[in-house]
Amino acid sequence: DAKTTQPPSMDCAEGRAANLPCNHSTISGNEYVYWYRQIHSQGPQYIIHGLKNNETNEMASLIITEDRKSSTLILPHATLRDTAVYYCIVRGEGSEKLVFGKGTKLTVNP
Amino acid sequence: SQTIHQWPATLVQPVGSPLSLECTVEGTSNPNLYWYRQAAGRGLQLLFYSVGIGQISSEVPQNLSASRPQDRQFILSSKKLLLSDSGFYLCAWSVVRNQPQHFGDGTRLSIL
């Protein structure tokens, strides 16, 4: 599975959009981009995933660049409860495992 | 809707003692089931996965074993715990292999 690079930390004001970047320049054609988040002392929570098209659900939007070498997770109106570590994961179609890196620690400030 | 349960939430065990952690899933049939471990300051590591009753695949050799005695039950065991077995153990399920995995709230295991 391809490796991902994320900034170690980010801050966002409550009510504003949080845009979390992820680089995955070695991604291959059958690998999906997954986003999870982990609030302290809890299990990771699935947010969204995509292959090449942009995706949106009730939690977030995922924007994948045309060359698929990077993506951005957008939380449209961040709340204090969105403070967490966000993980960008690239997973091959036939792979059972999710490989979690260090992620981005997002802090939403009042 | 589907739910996943893990217990206990925290556990303190002496070195050399046995271990049994249980995970059950409700609201789905024949899920894929997974055990991960998160050591302090490190990412999650897949330990075992199962695609059906009695079918276990191990990702890394270690002091632990897994069993799936029923469709929606996944058990992580050890006969003799080591200090290095300390960590946060997470169970997850998915509908099929290529679908998102959904995690339980984990068991925090401390070995003394």
pLDDT tens per residue, range A27-60 = 988 899 999 999 988 999 999 999 998 999 999 9
Q: Which residue has the tokens 């957008």?
A: A74
* Chain B residues inside the 8 Å CB shell of A97: 34, 46, 49, 59
Which residue in chain B has the smallest CA separation from A92?
A: B98
Region A92-110: mean pLDDT is 90
Give residues 32 to 91 of A whose Cβ lies within 8 Å of B.
Answer: 32, 34, 41-46, 49
Question: Which band of pLDDT confidence, cut at 50, 70 and 90, is reported for residue B41?
Answer: confident
Question: pLDDT digits over B78-111, tens only?
Answer: 999 999 999 999 999 999 877 899 999 999 999 9
Task: Look at A36-45, A75-84, A88-97 and tell me which has the smallest mean pLDDT.
Answer: A88-97
Cα–Cα distance, B103 to B106 (Å, whole number): 8
| Of B26, B17, B8, the residue nearest B88 (C-alpha) | B8
Task: Provide, as residue numbers in chain A, all residues whose Cβ is less than 8 Å from the Cβ of B104.
Answer: 43
Partner-chain contact B57 A96, CB within 8 Å: yes
Distance from CA of B64 to the nearest CA of A (A): 18
CB A102 within 8 A of CB B63: no
pLDDT band at A15 (very low <50, low <70, confident <90, very high): very high
How far apart CA A12 and CA A19 sit, in angstroms, is 9
User: B72: exposed, middle or buried (C-beta count within 10 Å: 0-12, 13-18, 19+)?
Assistant: buried
Gyration radius of chain B over CA positions: 13
- Span A8-36, mean pLDDT? 95
Q: Is B56 on the interface with A (CB under 8 A)?
A: no
Angle at A28 between CA A25 and CA A30, to 5 degrees: 140
pLDDT (mean) for B61-69 = 90
The answer to whether the Cβ–Cβ distance between A96 and B90 falls below 8 Å is no
Taking residues B44-72, report their average pLDDT.
92
Query: What is the token pair recorded at A71?
Result: 């993506």
- Strand locations in chain B, DSSP E? 3-7, 10-13, 19-26, 32-38, 44-52, 55-58, 65-70, 73-78, 87-94, 102-103, 107-111
Tokens linked to B21: 């952690």
Contact B21, B81 (CB under 8 A): no
